[in-house]
Amino acid sequence: MREDMLSTPTGNRLIQAMDPADRAALLALATPVDFVQGQIFNEPDDAVEHLHFIDQGIASSVAVLEDGRTVETVMIGREGVLGVVASVVPHLSRTRSVAQSAGSAQRVDAARFRQLAAQRPGVRDGVAGFMARLQGELEQSAACNALHRAEQRFAKWLLRCHDRVEGDTLSLTQEYLASMLGSQRTTVNEAAQSLQKSGAIAYSRGKVTVVDRAALERAACECYRAGETST
């Protein structure tokens, strides 16, 4: 579901859903920060020292293989928090955390968050609920990546991006798309051309515009609908 179709207030949806007292206590620890597209939050084996509750934009966790290839494992927008495992225990990142699009977030020191969560069950439970949804998404993605065609996965990924940004145009290069999907650039190009031919998107010079969202939803695999409630 598109974010601009929702009645929730601006800002991170996890924080907004908290009890006012819990929300105020968390925001007292937070520092508002902006980030640019491509910004690195953590590299593999870095200590995750901060949680980023996304207000706007998209961040991804990206697995980095020994040969340099990368593939996105998790996409997070204003429905969630980047670095969520560190909300429970001190954590070394297993992936690269990177901004997929420019945006803003509430940055909270992870150790201070753990102290707050121990004192306020509402804060703890709000983030724990997101972790549970994220686990379900990861399990669904394992099946998706193994069984669904590139065009279906590409359509699903574009829909998930579209849900998390304002407007209909996404700045996404072919190389970046291939990296996120774990596919060859030629495979991504073929999928993009097919979706463009169907009238679902327009694709040119690193920009993807969603022209017919209903057509894009029809092209996506069932995994988009399965994960729709978590965004």
Q: Is the pTM of this model over 0.85?
A: yes
Q: List beta partners, residue 204.
A: 207
Q: Work out the mean pLDDT of the chain and round it to a whole number.
A: 88
- How far is Cα 23 from Cα 25, in angstroms, rounded to an integer? 5
160-196 confidence digits (pLDDT tens): 999 988 889 988 777 777 777 777 788 888 888 899 9
- How far is Cα 136 from Cα 115, in angstroms, rounded to an integer? 27
> What share of the chain in percent tops pLDDT 70?
93
Q: What are the E-state strand segments in the chain?
A: 31-35, 40-42, 50-64, 70-76, 81-82, 96-109, 169-171, 201-204, 207-210
125-162 confidence digits (pLDDT tens): 999 999 999 988 888 888 888 888 889 999 999 999 99
User: How many CB atoms are located within 10 Å of the residue 160 CB?
Assistant: 20
* Eight-class DSSP state of 227: H
CB–CB of 199/215 below 8 Å? yes
Q: List beta partners, residue 59.
A: 76, 99
- How far is Cα 143 from Cα 127, in angstroms, rounded to an integer? 25
